[in-house]
Amino acid sequence: MIRDILDELVQIVPGAYLGKVLLRRKDAWRLLGYFALQPAAVARHEQPVAARGEPVPVPA
């Protein structure tokens, strides 16, 4: 079954891709659908206060 599936991918702009999925049946390719790929959103983590170079209060 895996050998009967073909996916084609084209970069439309940097970081974004469009593709299509084809299935081979009896010497002919049949279009199954289209898909889009883009980079995953990257979570931004705040740096601790000390890492930003700000003074850290010291308990008395």
Coil vs helix vs strand at 49:
helix
Quote the Cα angle for 21-6-20, to 5°. Answer: 25
Residue at 5 is within a domain: yes
Residue at 16 is within a domain: yes
Domain that holds residue 17: 1-28
Residue at 21 is within a domain: yes
Residue at 23 is within a domain: yes
Coil vs helix vs strand at 24:
strand
Domain count, the chain: 1
Q: What is the pLDDT of residue 23?
A: 95
Residue at 8 is within a domain: yes
Helices (H), 1-60: none
Q: What is the pLDDT of residue 15?
A: 87
Q: How far apart are CA 40 and CA 20, in angstroms?
A: 20
User: What confidence tens digit (pLDDT) does each residue in 3-60 have?
Assistant: 899 999 999 998 899 999 999 998 899 999 999 998 877 666 666 655 566 666 666 6
Residue at 11 is within a domain: yes
pTM here is 0.55
Quote the Cα angle for 16-30-37, to 5°. Answer: 10
Coil vs helix vs strand at 43:
coil
Residue at 55 is within a domain: no
